Amino acid sequence: MTRQTALSVAQEQLKLAVEKLELDPGIHKILKKPKRSLIVSVTIKMDDGTIGVFDGVRVQHWDVKGPFKGGIRYHPDLTIDDVTALAMWMTWKCAIADLPYGGAKGGICCNPKEMSQGELERLTRRYVSLIFEYLGPHRDIPAPDVYTNEQTMAWIMDTYSQLKGYSVPESVTGKPVEIGGSEGRVCATSLGLAFCAREAAKFLKLNMKNATVAVQGYGNVGYNAASIMHSLGCKVVAVSDSSGGIYCSDGIIPSAVYAHKKKTGSVVNHKNCANITNEELLQTKCDILIPAALQNQITKDNADKVKAKIVAEGANGPTTPEADKALHEKGTCLIPDILANSGGVTVSYFEWVQNLTREHWTLKEVNEKLENKITKSFYDVQKLSRKEESDMRTAALMLGVGRVAHAITTLGLWP
């Protein structure tokens, strides 16, 4: 089975939005390529005394609406094409959420599972020093992503601050609360996703109490999404990770499964549950399916087997364009990634604002502002979807791409 690359999917989605919006071909050419792609060789001394050389990248897509914003991931399969696609999606995501940012993404091709804490710290600091002149609170603000966390962000902030000569907490988001991080950041993506699912359920007249939920991926986003949906009264009947999944018709307790995963390394073999594959999880009979793992999970080959009424994308690009069409034709409500998982970048924006003004908001303030922002974005997309008689992804792309295109046209080209 041939898998589409993330970049080919992103380019196909952009082309669709450009055609729907009838944009100038020149604007399409601008948006197809990032403004800047930085490739660096990150050299560090390993614990055993040898020299390690790792490929690092930072792709800055477009910044007409504000400084670049996007995560940094550490992964052995990282490619510049994938990072470029993710940077492009971040541009649309920020525009849909009406945040004053452009999209970026970055990372280092490495296997963090095989590296010590000291090696990861040296790797992070070296990487930041190599792209330092292109970073900053009004230029490009990194955040955590796959296999990076608040500790990584603390190292980035400290390295940037040391090079500037004074503390600059607003140079990065996703930091520990003790050094300027925002309340609610850890659960932000999952909470935003839950707000989207809740609003979609209202349209479908689906009662969230006892609604059944399946979650693919049990990392930060997947686990917290399962926990939040459970707290809203939903019954989480299936979850999975890279090793496989579990199914229980009576529902699971998300925290108990997480404890089992921490102890054994996987959700598989949890008591009173049947083991299933990731493919079977996607085909589980449920009301709400949350793909929160990898790209290209729902394809033209399995879309007709998806039984969920609502698909809320926690991962980036889990559904291919052909699958989008198939799901829409059979009446599935798909909430696209660039809307459903925008809670993370929204609370990152809140953290940046708090840092710039040297304020600290309460968890209640953060969550209320997040709910308002996400709910408005959901209805902006929903309204356009009804007007265009299109699926929600097409409407979301039209909204995001349209806002960025309008900004480029308004600013003009200089010189």
406 falls within a domain? no
Long-range Cβ pairs for the range 173-180 (8 Å, 24+): 173/141, 173/142, 173/143, 173/348, 173/349, 173/351, 173/352, 174/143, 174/144, 174/149, 174/150, 174/348, 174/351, 175/150, 175/351, 176/150, 176/151, 179/154, 180/351, 180/354, 180/355
The one catalytic residue among 65, 69, 93, 105: 105
Give the span between the Cα atoms of 191 and 196, in whole angstroms: 9
CA angle 325, 328, 334 (to 5 degrees): 105
pLDDT at 5: 85
pLDDT in tens, 380-397: 999 999 999 999 999 999
234 falls within a domain? yes
159 falls within a domain? yes
Quote the number of domains for the chain.
2
Out of 293, 313, 340, a domain closes at 340
Out of 340, 360, 384, a domain closes at 340
15 falls within a domain? no
Asked if residue 90 and residue 56 are part of one domain, the reply reads yes
pLDDT tens, per residue, the chain with 415 residues:
456 788 998 999 999 999 999 999 999 999 999 999 999 999 999 999 999 999 999 999 999 999 999 999 999 999 999 999 999 999 999 999 999 999 999 999 999 999 999 999 999 999 999 999 999 999 999 999 989 999 999 999 999 999 999 999 999 999 999 999 999 999 999 999 999 999 999 989 999 988 999 999 999 899 999 999 999 999 999 999 999 999 999 999 999 999 999 999 999 999 999 999 999 999 999 999 999 998 889 999 999 999 999 999 999 889 988 999 999 999 999 999 999 999 999 999 999 999 999 999 999 999 999 999 999 999 999 999 999 999 999 999 999 999 999 999 999 999 8
Asked if residue 260 and residue 193 are part of one domain, the reply reads yes
pLDDT in tens, 204-225: 999 998 899 999 999 989 999 9
Q: Which residue shows structure tokens 């939903």?
A: 234
CATH number for the domain spanning 229: value is 3.40.50.720
79 falls within a domain? yes
pLDDT at 240: 96
84 falls within a domain? yes
Quick one: which of 53, 41, 35, 38 has its CA closest to 133? 38
pLDDT at 3: 63
- List the domain range (segments joined by +) for residue 58: 33-168
Asked if residue 336 and residue 192 are part of one domain, the reply reads yes
Asked if residue 253 and residue 159 are part of one domain, the reply reads no
Asked if residue 324 and residue 230 are part of one domain, the reply reads yes
Asked if residue 153 and residue 250 are part of one domain, the reply reads no
183 falls within a domain? no
CATH number for the domain spanning 94: value is 3.40.50.10860
Asked if residue 221 and residue 131 are part of one domain, the reply reads no
pLDDT at 1: 42
Q: Residue 105 catalytic? A: yes
Asked if residue 320 and residue 221 are part of one domain, the reply reads yes
Asked if residue 332 and residue 194 are part of one domain, the reply reads yes
Give the span between the Cα atoms of 84 and 151, in whole angstroms: 25
Asked if residue 193 and residue 147 are part of one domain, the reply reads no
Strand, coil or helix: 40:
strand
Whether residue 130 contacts residue 56, with contact meaning beta carbons closer than 8 Å, is answered with yes
pLDDT at 71: 96
Asked if residue 53 and residue 124 are part of one domain, the reply reads yes
26 falls within a domain? no
Out of 318, 340, 362, a domain closes at 340
Asked if residue 265 and residue 192 are part of one domain, the reply reads yes
